[in-house]
Structure formats: structure tokens, C-alpha cells
């Protein structure tokens, strides 16, 4: 059937001898759009890059092969709408999709004066979003579900349905493979700062910090230390069997943000919609079969009333405890090891009491100062000196920024660590230092007053009327802090690693800006930058699109093929999980949804990063913009700059992705 097109606007017409080439005409619209992002883009650059990539020639071939000849006044090579044929039959799109790929690369190349290729942020953040690319091969007309499958049925001739399905599968896989080089060229910089909310450093006058895992980063030896001490406390103080000494800390067993069912003694991963991710439920050190999980919970959903309270604690009858900070990794591992020991030796036990005993043992490691003394005795073993905390604090001080420190750790421990990281004059950098703050109580309990600590460690029990620079204060509460300093609103930016106690109240109740420090982010980004991960995610998305479109074939043979695809998809989802962590997968995602941890991160943190050293890559006039990623019912309007694609400093633009 002939396809007719409306008359194009006159400014797109071209005739021989008119003085304008088809290439120049084709680039007009693209130049106008690109200049919105980069005023330095020139028409000559557009034409040059377009010829290099063969865009105009392939567009002409595509138009000639798929459409009736248009008017002689409108040559096919002149049209700028290279991506237009998305609503054409699927087979045609697959046949000519290299033109679409080149057009995508063409737009990306021209988004910077240096012709450095960019892709949309969704591609760079998760190459699985190649559904925007490979998914274009399966595009549907608006309002027409299963359009590709309908066209597939109508345009396939007399071929056997099964053969046609396998043919589409093979061609889609080949096209997905062709996209990998373009995706690999746009790796994510692990030292980027990512924005959940628009925020300008120009408006930020006061910078606040937690200490542990914000200014001070610890080695894995600290987790082993906490595990061993708490295990020995269980044996010595709680009469647990001596056989527990055979258990040692297991690095990379657990990830942050997991939930523990106190009554069932199960450690698991839950997504943003309160659904348990099957395959990530552990009793002791062994996974629980999916069928058993579904039977225990009558499905996979955990009701809201069973979840932890606002701060991730198990209280008021809640059965789920969420482990939010990095110090909780030894606790989760110890819980699983003790459960494993009792089950292996057929010892009957009460899970709730076991949980309370482990929790108390871990608390004693901190509260009784055992961990603090061990770290102070061998600080080089436990503190990682290399996160450039000193350089960040010095830069802030040189630019006249006020700074404060609020930590739950005791002064002697903080002083020893800061002397090692920054130097003996570290107190001169901060306007206010508060230790043993007892967060999260610090943010809500209005009763605790500030107490000043002398150099000899004694407390002065006088009323504090002013928080002075160079002095050390203990306890207190946020409301008194705000009254004494007047530091309110969005001019304050506070950094911490605990999404609940450090960030939630500050942003929701007091309007402070918040920055989450997520050390695991650097490792996960490096994994996402690997060819293995990108290839798996690209094909996983494309395969999901195939299943969605071709499931309408209800004959037995077709259903058998689609079932094969579904099985392949399930296997790939498990493999992508295992790339991050063999037991629980990524900190940020379940198979496709955000984790419960990610949901809270996006809610309570304006920005997030792997470490505060990322601040060194930005000047104090920089504004962080969250990306407008399409909602499920929206289509992409324009390829966005990636968060790492904007050259904010020479250091960032030249940074090697693999450097640390």
C-alpha cells in the first residue's frame, strides 16, 4: 500500500542549482536543536560528521527502499528526520537499523565542541536502558499495544511462525551486539556526583560532616575485628557454644540495606514496593527455596506494618529490621553464622532471643569502647588514608566556608583519627565539633543539653550559650544547635553515610541540603562499566522487549519459543545479580526495581557520591541538575548529557575510569 506524506515545510525544500546542498538542508533542524545544548555547534561540523558516518546516504537508501518516491523538490538525502521510520514494519526496521544506530551516534558526537560522544543519562547510568536503543527496534505506535507483533503477523508471509520468531530473535541479538561499542564508549565516571534534586553550591555557605565513613574510611580489617569481638562476647557473656569460634567473618557476604525477619531468622533483600526479591532470602548461610519463601509470606509482599520504623529499627512489634549503615555488615554476617551453627548441629533455639543477643554483643563492641581502643592502637591498619578528606576540608576553608562535625564516636577516637587523616590542627578547620551526639536521638530529643569537653576529658556542666570554634561539645540536640548557630535552611549542606539518622530529619524537617556518601558506589560503577555487564544488560532489555511483543502468539509452537526466551531472561537476571554480589546482588536494584535502600536514598539525599573527595572535581559555582528520565508513559524527547559528560574541571574530564 502506498504511503503518502504531508507536504514538508518550504525551508526544507531543495532544487538543483539552488545553491544549498542536500547535506546542508538536512542539517538545519539538527543544528538548531544542538545549539540549545551547545552554542558552538556549527553547520559545517554537522555536515562533516554526517558525511563521515554516512547518515545522509543511509537515510536516502532507507527512504528509497521503504517509501514511495517523494516530490523532486524534496530529496530523501535532505531530510533531517532520520529516526522517523520507527512506526514501519518490524522486519524493515531490523534490516535498516544500522542507520538508526548511526544517527544516534551522530547526535551524540555533536553535543560537544570536542565531538566527544555523549549518550543519554539513562544509557550511562544503566546500559540496560538500551531499551531506548535496541528497544527502538521493537517500537510501537502510540496507543497500539503489541503493534510490532501485529505487523509481524501481517507481514510475515507463509513462513512458519516458529521460524519467524527465531529469525526475529537472531536478528535482534545481532543488532544488540552492534550497539555495544557505542555504549562502551560512554562509561560512567565513578568520581561523579549524582543529583536527586537540583542544588547549587553557589547557595551553600555551611558544610556539615559525619565522621565514620564520611571523613574517615575503614579497611575490611575493621569488619573482621567487630565480628570476632562480638562472636567472643556471645561465647563468653551469653554462654554460646565454643564451636562458634570456628566461624570467621565472610567478606562480601552481605550488602547494606538488607532486611532481617527477626521472628523467622531470615535475611533478605526487599525492593521499593515492599516485595521480597526471590533468590535473595537466606537462613543462616544458605538460600531458602523460592517456594518456601512464597509459602511463608503467602506471596512475596511484606506489609507496611511489618517493616522497620522510620530509622530502620525493629520496634513496636515490627518483625523486620533494616541494616542501613556500613557498620552493620559484621552484624548481619554474625547473625547468619550463629543461625547456621544452630541449624547444622540441630540445636533448638528462639530466633528473637538470638537476634537480641547478637545485637547486644555488637552494641558492646562500640559502647564499651573495645573497637575504639583497638583502632587507636593500630590506626594505620584500620583507617584508609587516601580519600582526600584533608584536601576537601582545606579547599572549603580557603573559600571561606563554615564547617561543623557531628558524630556518635567519642572525642579521643575522633581526635586520633583526624590527627592521622588531616593533622594536629584539624580542629582549626571546624567552627563546631560535636561528639557522642547519640544520633538519631540528636535530631529529635529536645531535652539533652550540650556539654563542653575540656582538654583533660572532663565535662563542664554549665549552661552553653554559644558554640565556640576550637571547643569540643558532647551530646546536645539539633534544635538547640539551630538556636545557637542560626544555621537553617538550604544554605547548609550535610554529608553522611546513614540515610535515615543522618539525612532524613535534616531534609524533611529543617530544609538542610543533604549529601549521601555511598562508598559501595565506586565498586558498582566499575562493574557497570565492564563489557560483560553492558552486553548482558543490553541483551536482557532487548529480549524483554521481544517477549513483551511476541507473547500474543497463542499457538503451542510459538508459546514454546516464548517460554524459552522467558527462561533465558530469568537466567540472565540471576547472572546480572551475581556480578555484584553472589547472595544479594546490587545495593541499588533488585532485578529491575529500585531497592528499598534506593527508594530512601532518592527521598532523603539531594546528591550522592562515592566519597567526599568527589567535591574536588567541582567549583563552588556548580549547580547539580537531576536528569529528566522518562516516566513509563513518557517518551524520550532529547538525548541528555550524562552526569559525567560535562567537563566541570580538568581533573574530572581527564580522569581514568579505572583509576581509584
* Secondary structure letter of residue 504 according to DSSP: I
Residues linked to residue 608 through DSSP beta bridges, in sequence order: 194, 516
Q: For residues 545 and 466, what is the distance between their CA atoms, to the nearest angstrom? A: 62
With 0-12 CB in 10 A as exposed, 13-18 as middle and 19+ as buried, what is 526?
middle
* Secondary structure letter of residue 271 according to DSSP: B
Active site residue 462: no
Catalytic residue among 191, 212, 415, 497: 212
Q: For 206-342, list the strands marked E by DSSP.
A: 206-209, 217-218, 259-261, 266-268, 282-283, 286-287, 320-322
Residue 483's SS3 state is: helix
For the residues of 528-563, what is the DSSP string, one character each?
A: HTSHHHHHHHHHHHHHHHHHHHHTT--SHHHHHHHH
Closest listed residue to residue 196, CA positions, set 108, 111, 119, 125: 125
Q: For residues 574 and 277, what is the distance between their CA atoms, to the nearest angstrom? A: 11
CA 285 to chain centre: 27
As given in the structure block, the three cell numbers for residue 155 are 507481514
Query: Which H or E run contains 108?
Result: helix 90-109
Catalytic residue among 23, 98, 203, 210: 210
Q: For residues 421 and 389, what is the distance between their CA atoms, to the nearest angstrom? A: 7
Q: For residues 281 and 323, what is the distance between their CA atoms, to the nearest angstrom? A: 15
3-state SS string for 578-589: HHHCCCCCCCCE
Query: Which H or E run contains 517?
Result: strand 513-517
C-alpha separations of 246 from 249, 278, 336, 347, 353 in Å: 10, 30, 14, 17, 22
| Residues recorded for the chain | 660
* Secondary structure letter of residue 204 according to DSSP: -
Active site residue 210: yes
Residue whose grid cell is 545495593: 587
Torsion, Cα of 75, 635, 182, 549 (10° steps): -100
HSE, side-chain direction, 13 A CA sphere, residue 335 = 34
Task: Please say whether the beta carbons of 325 and 516 come within 8 A.
Answer: no
As given in the structure block, the three cell numbers for residue 205 are 555557605
Residues labelled as active-site residues = 210, 212
Amino acid at each position: 500500500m502506498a504511503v503518502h506524506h504531508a507536504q514538508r515545510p518550504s525551508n526544507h525544500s531543495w532544487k538543483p542549482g539552488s545553491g544549498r546542498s542536500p547535506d546542508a538542508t538536512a542539517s538545519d533542524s539538527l543544528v538548531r536543536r544542538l545549539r540549545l545544548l551547545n552554542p558552538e555547534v556549527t553547520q559545517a561540523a554537522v555536515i562533516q560528521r554526517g558525511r563521515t558516518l554516512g547518515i545522509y546516504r543511509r537515510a536516502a537508501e532507507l527512504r528509497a527502499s521503504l517509501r514511495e518516491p517523494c516530490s523532486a523538490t524534496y530529496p530523501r538525502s535532505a531530510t533531517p528526520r532520520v529516526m522517523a521510520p520507527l512506526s514501519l514494519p518490524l522486519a524493515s526496521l531490523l534490516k535498516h537499523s544500522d542507520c538508526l544506530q548511526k544517527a544516534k551516534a551522530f547526535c551524540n558526537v555533536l553535543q560537544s565542541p570536542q565531538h566527544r560522544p555523549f549518550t543519554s543519562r539513562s544509557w550511562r547510568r544503566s546500559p540496560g536502558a538500551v531499551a531506548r536503543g535496541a528497544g527502538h527496534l521493537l517500537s510501537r505506535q502510540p496507543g497500539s499495544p503489541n503493534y510490532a507483533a501485529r505487523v509481524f503477523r501481517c507481514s510475515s508471509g507463509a513462513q512458519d511462525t516458529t521460524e519467524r520468531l527465531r529469525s526475529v530473535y537472531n536478528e535482534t541479538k545481532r543488532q544488540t551486539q552492534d550497539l555495544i561499542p557505542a555504549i562502551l564508549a560512554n562509561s560512567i565516571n565513578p568520581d561523579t556526583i549524582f543529583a536527586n534534586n537540583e542544588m547549587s553550591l553557589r547557595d551553600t555557605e555551611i558544610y556539615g560532616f559525619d565522621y565514620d565513613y564520611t571523613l574517615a574510611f575503614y579497611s575490611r580489617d575493621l569488619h573482621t575485628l567487630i565480628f570476632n569481638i562480638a562472636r567472643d562476647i556471645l561465647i563468653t557473656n551469653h554462654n554460646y557454644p565454643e564451636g562458634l569460634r570456628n566461624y570467621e567473618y565472610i567478606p562480601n557476604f552481605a550488602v547494606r540495606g538488607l532486611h532481617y525477619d527477626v521472628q523467622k531468622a531470615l535475611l533478605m533483600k526487599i525492593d521499593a514496593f515492599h516485595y521480597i526479591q526471590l533468590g535473595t532470602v537466606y537462613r543462616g548461610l544458605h538460600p531458602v527455596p523460592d517456594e518456601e519463601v512464597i509459602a511463608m509470606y503467602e506471596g512475596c509482599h511484606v506489609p507496611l506494618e511489618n517493616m522497620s520504623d522510620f530509622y530502620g529499627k525493629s520496634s513496636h512489634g515490627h518483625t523486620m529490621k533494616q541494616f542501613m549503615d556500613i557498620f552493620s555488615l559484621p552484624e548481619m554476617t554474625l547473625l547468619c553464622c550463629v543461625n547456621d551453627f544452630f541449624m547444622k548441629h540441630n540445636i533448638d533455639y528462639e530466633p528473637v532471643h538470638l537476634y537480641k543477643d547478637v545485637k547486644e554483643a555488637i552494641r558492646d563492641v562500640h559502647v564499651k569502647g573495645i573497637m575504639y581502643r583497638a583502632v587507636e592502637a593500630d590506626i594505620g591498619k584500620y583507617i584508609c588514608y587516601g580519600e582526600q578528606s584533608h584536601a576537601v576540608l582545606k579547599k572549603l576553608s580557603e573559600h571561606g566556608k563554615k564547617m561543623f562535625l557531628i558524630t556518635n564516636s567519642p572525642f579521643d577516637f575522633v581526635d586520633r583519627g583526624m590527627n592521622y587523616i588531616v593533622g594536629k590542627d584539624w580542629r582549626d578547620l571546624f567552627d563546631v565539633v560535636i561528639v557522642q551526639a547519640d544520633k538519631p536521638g540528636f535530631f529529635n530529643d529536645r531535652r539533652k543539653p550540650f556539654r563542653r569537653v575540656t582538654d583533660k576529658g572532663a565535662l563542664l556542666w554549665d549552661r552553653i550559650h554559644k558554640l565556640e570554634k576550637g571547643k569540643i561539645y558532647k551530646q546536645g540536640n539539633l534544635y538547640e544547635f539551630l538556636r545557637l548557630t542560626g544555621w537553617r535552611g538550604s544554605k547548609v549542606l550535610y554529608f553522611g553515610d546513614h540515610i535515615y539518622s543522618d539525612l532524613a530529619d535534616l531534609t524533611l524537617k529543617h530544609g538542610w541540603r543533604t549529601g549521601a556518601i555511598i562508598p559501595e558506589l565506586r565498586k558498582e560503577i566499575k562493574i557497570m562499566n565492564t563489557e560483560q555487564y553492558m552486553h548482558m544488560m543490553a541483551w536482557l532489555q532487548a529480549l524483554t522487549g521481544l517477549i513483551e511483543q511476541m507473547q500474543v502468539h497463542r499457538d503451542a509452537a510459538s508459546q514454546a519459543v516464548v517460554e524459552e526466551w522467558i527462561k533465558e531472561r530469568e537466567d540472565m537476571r540471576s547472572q546480572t545479580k551475581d556480578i555484584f554480589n553472589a547472595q544479594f546482588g546490587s545495593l541499588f536494584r533488585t532485578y529491575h526495581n529500585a531497592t528499598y535502600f534506593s527508594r530512601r536514598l532518592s527521598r532523603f539525599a539531594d546528591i550522592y557520591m562515592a566519597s567526599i573527595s568527589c567535591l574536588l572535581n567541582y567549583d563552588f559555582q556548580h549547580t547539580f541538575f537531576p536528569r529528566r528520565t522518562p516516566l513509563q508513559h513518557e517518551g524520550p524527547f532529547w538525548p541528555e548529557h550524562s552526569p559525567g559528560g560535562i567537563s566541570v574541571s580538568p581533573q574530572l574530564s581527564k580522569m581514568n575510569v579505572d583509576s581509584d
